[in-house]
Structure 1
Amino acid sequence: MAGSGVVKHILLARFKDEVTPERLDQLIRGYAGLVAVVPSMKAFHWGTDVSIENMHQGFTHVFESTFESTEGVKEYIEHPNHVDFATEFLALAEKVIIIDYKPTAAT
């Protein structure tokens, strides 16, 4: 099946300067909470840029979600809780990049 197999959903973000650390913490807790309400969302991790290469192009935060399939990502995108969350998230973001990929082991 073309859509089967684990899919990683990577979101890179830079938030607007006016977003307070408290508001950002609240937003990240909301993102993490989607795991409990979206059945196809299996895991969530996040972090901030710590690279010494300075190639982040202004992106400061990385969010990684794991899904069971591409169909699972579609379910997540259409889920009402995600739709509400994404509206809130995007209102606070200055710029965002999203990439979905299927992990492949090195050969």
Structure 2
Amino acid sequence: MTAQLPSTAAAFLRTVNEHAPAGFITLFTEDAVVDDAGREIRGREAIREWAAHDIFAANVTFEVHNVSGTDGDATITTRVDGTFDRTGLPDPLIMTFRVVGERGKVSGLTCRLPG
């Protein structure tokens, strides 16, 4: 389904699903901001550390359920899987990701449980 996604969002999903941290971090602008369920991560280096722990060490993968928006502002609903602690999380874990793009790079990423 990533072929039907706006290109920046597709690259975000692809690098996570292919477990490619080097490719993942190059998608972000130097001053990008990630809002992970209210926890704010600012700047590429902080995003690299967050992703290393919360995405790549946990072997996270996404299964796309829905997509809306454009390359500059796309919202993706996915089923999230991986080897992370699921205590207190819904099963299945469905999350929405808002990917804000700027000249082909991610300038903002918001990660939320739907609703």
TM-score interval, normalised by the smaller of the two chains? under 0.3
Relative contact order, CA 8 A, sep 6+: which one is greater?
1
TM-score by length of 1: 0.28
Bigger share in strand: 2
Structure number having the greater helix percentage: 1
The alignment's TM-score, normalised by the length of structure 2, stands at 0.26
